[in-house]
Amino acid sequence: MAKVISNVTFRGTIGGITFYKASDQELAREKGDSGITSKQFAENPIFNRIKLHGFEFGRCSRKSRYFRMLVKSFFDRAKDVSFAGRVNQLLFEIIEEDLSNPIGSRLIENGLTSPYLSEILLGFEGNRLRPMTKVCRVPVSFDWDTMVLQPFSLHLTQDLEWPDVDANLVEFQLGFANWDSAANSFETSYSNVIQVAREAVVIDLSFEIAPLPEHDLWLAFLFIGFSNKVRRKVKPLARKWNTVTVVGMKR
């Protein structure tokens, strides 16, 4: 790697040398030689494990499209640029729990029967920049027996971490998804929206929930979104300030 000392700024690649800027420096880097041809990669058995993992990553990538649709309206309002890749990684963690098939043939459906599934799924965030633990100062979970979110009550200024921008309105909503990974299908149901102004008061999170008829794998998501209200106009904040998290799971 070399520094470029010139009155002219270069960008792009010339003759195998790439010019770019990093850390306020003008740098030049020569394209390296991998030393491995596609034919060698295909025929050398030393790369078999890499190829088998590649098959499974592809399987997870195809399945991840359905996971990202489970509560799409929430994810559209609370996600970061790493979201799609993190869903792929989440599903790969699940596929690794398939102990009945060899690497390369493992299935997400088998991984979903793992006794450690709750450890993998619970707490998954749509927006890594604003995880639930950073937005809500008290632990959050969903009780499937009572169908009630815990905690049931929140102090709006003491228990919530409001964004460092103009925000005087917050909304809470639960989303429920029944995910059938094997059939690549799902059903989604949403609760009522609880929207309240920023005040030093305690509110009850009393949600009206319509239960899903099917039961393959139930997941509960909590969305917390912030807005700024001026007179009758409400302007939602950018999605980087909101959060959505898996707070409940039931098989």
Cα–Cα distance, 207 to 132 (Å, whole number): 18
Average pLDDT over residues 53-78: 93
Between vectors from CA 115 to CA 109 and to CA 119, what angle results, nearest 5°?
Answer: 95
Q: Which of 55-64, 131-140, 167-176, 199-208 has the lowest mean pLDDT?
A: 55-64
Contact 249, 218 (CB under 8 A): yes
Average pLDDT over residues 2-29: 73
Contact 205, 154 (CB under 8 A): yes
Average pLDDT over residues 130-152: 95
Residue 249 pLDDT > 70:
yes
pLDDT for the residue numbered 71: 97
Nearest to 64 by CA among 102, 103, 97, 91: 91
Average pLDDT over residues 147-160: 96
pLDDT for the residue numbered 224: 98
Cα–Cα distance, 75 to 125 (Å, whole number): 9
Nearest to 217 by CA among 190, 182, 244: 182
Counting every residue written for the chain, the total comes to: 251
Average pLDDT over residues 116-145: 96
Average pLDDT over residues 50-78: 92
Percentage of the residues of the chain whose pLDDT score is greater than 90:
73
Contacts made by residues 188-191, CB under 8 angstroms, sequence distance 24+: 188/70, 188/71, 190/71, 190/73
